[in-house]
Structure 1
Amino acid sequence: MPYLVACLESVEAQTIGPERMEVIAVDDGSTDGTGECLEEFAARAPMPVTVIRQDNSGGPSGPRNVGLGKAAGRYVFFLDADDRLGPEALERMVAMADRAGTDVVLGRVEGVNRSAPKSMWGSTLERTDVFSSNIKFTLSAQKLFRRELLTRHGMRFDESLFTGEDALFTMEAYLRADGVSVIADHTCYYLVGRDDGKHVTRSGDHTLRFDSARALMRLIAEHVPAGPRRDQLMVRPFTVTLLPQFGPKYLKDGEETRRHKLELAKPLMDAHWTEGVARRLKVHERLRLHLVAEQRADLLPDVVEFVRSGKQAAALLERRGRRVYLAYPYFRDAAAGVPDSVYLASPREARAYPGYREGGADSFVRRAARKVRRTLGV
């Protein structure tokens, strides 16, 4: 409360029709009048509403699993009590799933008083997958899932995780799904920032974030063989879950916390940090994670401070402009011993620097081949 009022209003306003909906509301030990509000809604709502009231479980996984166990529809959608649905959201998502035959549908998300994921909303896609799009960067539970998919694989939220449980569930659904749809041209979900800032994902100590990263990395490794496709997915837990632990807050951490973070990160880096993952990152991301992997507590604070300051790293162009190195701290510092390759900008990052010439050896081979074809008249 009071966000629940707007949430329920958005449910009642859905155009899919009350005869096609069921609402299962789980009051997880609320003490602010939520239970009474839900009971009042159930008494007047045009669609069937089941209200389940239980003692507080300590996290979102338990209540979601309770609701999922009661669901009877072809699809399920998980709606958080402080968020709200966009107009026509359920009608559009169900129509998309029925038309495309896909198992998961993502509806465009907008933030209200908070940020929301953006990179996956470039265009509406009737059928895609986790390898062909940016959907790996939105792993919240607020998606439409075909219930048969969840039932067939016995999928439930991991109740041992206090945060990141939705990332685990959603990634598994992406990997098991017969296609994923993306609705990018209509806002289906409003992610609402609470005025008090009390979001589950922002609370708890750092160990919970490492638990989340560990679980997601393990899931990806179990479902995807080692190689480029696994590396592509591993970018997500490394950059979204693990890397922030070595961001600005790291500078405020005490020595014991810094040491503990590096200890927790070491087995994850040993198991999953590969050259394929590193190549997909920006230089400042790659550099920090390289130092974490090497347990370089002596170098890491200076790099984090440089990134926090917003300073622009100087660019060094070599090989006639075909290589761009970004001179973050300790670049070519013999005593530090960080390899040059850590500072090498990817073509995408290098394009921002005047004088960069995309190509290299591969480009030379292609030009030579074109010259031969012209000479031969083919």
Structure 2
Amino acid sequence: MPRVKVSVIVPVYNTGKYVDECAPSLLGQSLPDDEYEVIYVDDGSTDDTLTRLEKLAAGHPNVRVHTQPNSGWPGAPRNVGMEHAKGEYVQFVDHDDMLGTEALERLYEHATRNRADVVIGKMSSTMVRPRRLFRQTVDACTIENDELMQSMSPHKMFRRAFVEEHGLRFPEGPWIMEDLAFVSAAYLKAERIAILADYPCYYWMKRDDGGNNTRHRFNPRHGFWPNLRTIVRQFKDGTTASDDVDALQNRLLHRLYHVEVLSRAREPEILREDPAEQRQRFAMARQVALEEFPAAVRRGLPAVSGLRAELLERGDFDGAFAFAEHIRGVKARTELGAPRWEDGCLVADITLELLRGDGEPLLLTERDGKWWLDPELLTGVSGTKDGWEVGDPFRMAYAEVVVKDRDREDWWYPEGDLEVALRPVGEGRSRLVASGRLRLDPQRLAGDRPLGRGVYDVWAFVNLLGIDRMVRVTGHDVSNEPAAAPAVTGGRLALPYWTTGVGQLTLDVDQRLRRLGPDTAGAAAANAERGERSLPLPYVVAEPGVPAPLKVTVSALKVTAELVPAADGSTVRLRLPARLKLPAGRHPVTLPKADAPVAHAVVRDGALLRLEGPAYEAGTGRRLLDAVAGNRQVRRVRRRLGRSG
């Protein structure tokens, strides 16, 4: 009998319909049914959850259900699941999330090949921004890779023998941040940690009722601050103290300080919550910051975060509130050069910078050989009359392009990095900008695999001076127009365009929403060579590769044509089937959603003799562009594509 490779542990409590929504992703795994098990642990549900679970177990031999009295938190059910697990590895899943179809198979293979104690699978989410941790797959690392701190949820695969060897268990009862306690202990003990970034393994989805929104987890009555102290001390006990801001302990504690402590002094929380309650949180955060976090953690913060920490330590709630109002108004702006196709990739030059609330660039000023924060951000912030020094403008600064699969909620990272630099603007002032080359390869973007059929929106993330923003990559004064010529890539059409309204750069692969038509391609050239059964489309830029299918209408007959890339990748030819069930004559060929013909098919005895451009006249070989050179739409298309008159 095959051994159980993976035990999937799912804690549940009054989950109702979400059990049925999650189950198909667990039971439809590519890993054979007899090689994994799904263990549901019901935490004393009072609705019909248990009935739903028992029905699942009755129909699937690899599903087991355990029950226990209500504990009020996921920790105890997860521990019960581990006690009953038979798998070589355990994978934790929440009842309202989903797994990718090949998740268990891929994670297990990655784990065993690298002898990993912990495997972190790529997460997709409707609730949080993409994480740099998943830029690339990593075979093995340790806690020295502090980017691991970006993923502290328990939704990972753990080697069961490793968990048992170190006695790893979740805190039980109403214990906020029980996941951080378990995961941080595992990170500190693990000898080999692997990251699988080329396949979306875990889908962390937002519930309709908001029941899994982590914002609601902050509750001091459930021991938030004592629990945070426990986790901080766990990191201290497992690492060496140092005054070096870049020492391992300080890098690891930075995440806890930034997310769990400094959040009480920054937007949106300090501006959103009731001031009386937020003042109490602020005071508690100050106490924990001073008592638990080494000074080196705060010294290592970038400029804006450093000022927040200073205001928090001073107990200056009003100053922190005023500063948060200024920072809330800061926005990111992208400047994008004209997108174009090069070597099968969509490329463009891109620049990112931050703007103040008044729309002006956020500036740094140079004085006495030092850099100082933009004074417009300091109005009303006590203790900053002489300014706020920016010790290192590049501290923790980075920017990157990310591409979102609109249909699947997956995020992908294009090749290349953006460089952060200071650009002088005169009078001792400079802008902090990130710039580089956007490069989208439809054949490799999805974890070194081709993008699936779908719509892909281009975003950018920037973190400068401790201010982070997600921003749409947009064009200037464009909407619902082509962003570049279409391309045939991997036997499919890739159509770049600007979205309606905001004008975000988007790529439609395999005509998910867009269609090749007058709005995305120029008309075909005339075909003066008799007997040619294909016709060049001069405005389509393509990479060499297999033909792409394309639906066209010949008179009233709908047929599947092909776009055949030229050997040099400079253009494609439109090719129709050799046989057409049409009467003899000259028949218009139109693209979907188009009125004007892109070509004419000359048919005799049911056979295609040749294709002709729509303006072709026998004996003249006259090109369409000569015939309609004054057409406004043609002029617009030619301008968009940089064609000369």
Query: Shorter chain as normaliser: what TM range?
Result: 0.7 to 0.9
Q: Which moved more, 1:202-211 or 1:134-143?
A: 202-211
Aligned partners of 2:371 and 2:390 also within 8 Å: no
For 1:214 and 1:306, the matched residues in 2 are separated by: 31
Counterpart for residue 361 of structure 1: none
Counterpart for residue 69 of structure 1: 83
CA shift, 1:45, in A, is 0.9
For 2:187 and 2:291, the matched residues in 1 are separated by: 23
SS of aligned partner of 2:162: helix
SS of aligned partner of 1:142: coil
Q: Note closer, same or farther for the CA distance 1:43–1:345 as it changes in structure 2 (3 Å cut).
A: same
SS of aligned partner of 2:363: strand
CA shift, 1:323, in A, is 3.8
Say yes or no: does 1:30 pair with 2:45: yes
CA shift, 1:114, in A, is 2.3
Q: Which moved more, 1:135-144 or 1:113-122?
A: 113-122
Pairing of 1:171-186 with structure 2 (within 5 A): 171-186=184-199
Say yes or no: does 1:11 pair with 2:31: no
Question: Counterpart amino acid of 2:260?
Answer: T
CA shift, 1:174, in A, is 0.9
Counterpart for residue 241 of structure 1: 260
Question: Counterpart amino acid of 2:303?
Answer: V
Pairing of 1:137-216 with structure 2 (within 5 A): 137-160=150-173, 162-199=175-212, 201-207=214-220, 208=222, 209-216=224-231
Counterpart for residue 364 of structure 2: 316
Aligned partners of 1:7 and 1:82 also within 8 Å: yes
Aligned partners of 1:161 and 1:212 also within 8 Å: no
CA shift, 1:344, in A, is 5.2
Counterpart for residue 54 of structure 1: 68
Question: Counterpart amino acid of 1:136?
Answer: M
Aligned partners of 2:118 and 2:190 also within 8 Å: yes
For 2:33 and 2:133, the matched residues in 1 are separated by: 30
Q: Note closer, same or farther for the CA distance 1:323–1:31 as it changes in structure 2 (3 Å cut).
A: same
Aligned partners of 1:302 and 1:329 also within 8 Å: no
For 2:189 and 2:87, the matched residues in 1 are separated by: 20
CA shift, 1:271, in A, is 3.1
Q: Which protein has greater RCO, CA pairs closer than 8 Å, 6+ apart?
A: 1
Q: Which moved more, 1:135-144 or 1:257-266?
A: 257-266
Q: Note closer, same or farther for the CA distance 1:31–1:161 as it changes in structure 2 (3 Å cut).
A: closer
- Which structure dedicates a bigger proportion of its chain to strand? 2
Aligned partners of 2:253 and 2:297 also within 8 Å: yes
For 2:319 and 2:230, the matched residues in 1 are separated by: 28
Question: Counterpart amino acid of 1:177?
Answer: A
CA shift, 1:25, in A, is 0.6
Q: Note closer, same or farther for the CA distance 1:343–1:58 as it changes in structure 2 (3 Å cut).
A: farther
SS of aligned partner of 2:309: helix
RMSD: 2.9
- TM-score between the two structures when normalised by the length of structure 2: 0.51
Say yes or no: does 1:222 pair with 2:237: yes
Counterpart for residue 99 of structure 2: 85
Q: Note closer, same or farther for the CA distance 1:344–1:301 as it changes in structure 2 (3 Å cut).
A: farther
Q: Note closer, same or farther for the CA distance 1:338–1:14 as it changes in structure 2 (3 Å cut).
A: farther
Aligned partners of 1:321 and 1:357 also within 8 Å: no
Q: Note closer, same or farther for the CA distance 1:335–1:281 as it changes in structure 2 (3 Å cut).
A: closer
Aligned partners of 2:72 and 2:173 also within 8 Å: no
Counting aligned pairs with the same residue, the percent is 31
Aligned partners of 1:26 and 1:52 also within 8 Å: yes
For 1:317 and 1:264, the matched residues in 2 are separated by: 35
Cα deviations by residue, 1:238-286 (Å, 9 ceiling, x for unpaired): 1222222223232344454233223312332113444532354333222
SS of aligned partner of 2:197: strand
Aligned partners of 1:315 and 1:353 also within 8 Å: no
Aligned partners of 1:141 and 1:170 also within 8 Å: yes
Counterpart for residue 305 of structure 2: 285
Q: Note closer, same or farther for the CA distance 1:321–1:82 as it changes in structure 2 (3 Å cut).
A: farther
Q: Note closer, same or farther for the CA distance 1:240–1:181 as it changes in structure 2 (3 Å cut).
A: same
Match of 2:423 among 332, 354, 359: 354
Question: Counterpart amino acid of 1:315?
Answer: L
Q: Which runs of 5+ in 1 are unaligned?
A: 359-378
For 2:92 and 2:251, the matched residues in 1 are separated by: 27
Match of 1:297 among 317, 320, 326: 317
For 2:188 and 2:129, the matched residues in 1 are separated by: 23
Q: Note closer, same or farther for the CA distance 1:337–1:344 as it changes in structure 2 (3 Å cut).
A: farther
CA shift, 1:17, in A, is 1.6
Question: Counterpart amino acid of 1:107?
Answer: G
Cα deviations by residue, 1:72-112 (Å, 9 ceiling, x for unpaired): 2221111110001111111111111111111000111111x
For 1:76 and 1:224, the matched residues in 2 are separated by: 27
CA shift, 1:143, in A, is 0.3
Query: Larger radius of gyration, structure 1 or 2?
Result: 2
Counterpart for residue 289 of structure 2: 269
Aligned partners of 2:364 and 2:431 also within 8 Å: no
Q: Which runs of 5+ in 2 are unaligned?
A: 1-15, 332-354, 357-361, 399-419, 425-429, 433-645
Counterpart for residue 136 of structure 1: 149
Q: Note closer, same or farther for the CA distance 1:161–1:85 as it changes in structure 2 (3 Å cut).
A: same
Aligned partners of 1:139 and 1:170 also within 8 Å: yes
For 1:9 and 1:22, the matched residues in 2 are separated by: 14
CA shift, 1:233, in A, is 0.4
Counterpart for residue 370 of structure 1: none
Aligned partners of 1:279 and 1:346 also within 8 Å: no
CA shift, 1:210, in A, is 3.2
Say yes or no: does 1:98 pair with 2:74: no
Aligned partners of 2:262 and 2:285 also within 8 Å: no
SS of aligned partner of 1:203: helix
Cα deviations by residue, 1:181-228 (Å, 9 ceiling, x for unpaired): 000000111111101111163325542543443232121112111121
Aligned partners of 2:133 and 2:147 also within 8 Å: yes
Q: Note closer, same or farther for the CA distance 1:97–1:201 as it changes in structure 2 (3 Å cut).
A: same
Question: Counterpart amino acid of 1:51?
Answer: V
Q: Note closer, same or farther for the CA distance 1:262–1:202 as it changes in structure 2 (3 Å cut).
A: closer
Aligned partners of 1:327 and 1:343 also within 8 Å: no
- Which structure dedicates a bigger proportion of its chain to helix? 1
Q: Note closer, same or farther for the CA distance 1:270–1:338 as it changes in structure 2 (3 Å cut).
A: farther
For 1:272 and 1:341, the matched residues in 2 are separated by: 25
